[in-house]
């Protein structure tokens, strides 16, 4: 059986920019095993952190994008904002 450390596992993500400060190669993926498994990213430059979305959040976002694409096809518009004079 493989030994599992209690400490979080950290990996640098090569070629990834921070969503907040845009620093290149400063993002670290952190895996936590105890008390409950979790995964997130954090920036070593600006301390920005972001949790990985779960399957339900991803599905909801994909459904919304699919609905928007269907609306564009049926209405023929791409959501352009028009200002009245």
Mean pLDDT of 46-61: 85
Q: Is 4 within the bounds of a domain?
A: no
pLDDT above 90: residue 45: yes
Distance CA 66, CA 16 (A): 27
DSSP E strand stretches across 1-85:
9-12, 27-32, 38-43, 49-51
Q: Which residues contact 10 (CB under 8 A, 6 or more apart)?
A: 28, 29, 30, 31
Q: Where is pLDDT greater, at 70 or 42?
A: 42
In a domain, 16, yes or no: yes
Look at the chain and report how many structural domains it folds into: 1
**Is 1 among the domain residues?**
no
Res 56: pLDDT: 85
**83 domain-assigned:** no
Residue 34 maps to a domain: yes
Is residue 63 assigned to a domain?
Answer: yes
**pLDDT given for residue 78 in this prediction:** 61
pLDDT value at residue 1: 45
Model confidence pLDDT, tens digit, residues 1-37: 466 667 888 999 999 999 899 999 999 999 888 787 8
Structural domain of residue 52, as residue ranges? 9-74
């Amino acid at each position: 059986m493989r030994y599992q450390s209690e400490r979080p596992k950290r990996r640098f993500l090569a070629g990834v920019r921070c969503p907040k400060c845009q620093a290149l190669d400063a993002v670290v993926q952190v895996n936590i095993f105890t008390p409950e498994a979790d995964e997130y990213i954090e920036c070593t430059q600006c301390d920005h952190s972001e949790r990985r979305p779960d399957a339900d959040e991803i599905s909801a976002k994909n459904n919304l994008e699919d609905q928007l694409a269907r609306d564009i096809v049926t209405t023929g518009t791409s959501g352009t904002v028009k200002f009245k004079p």
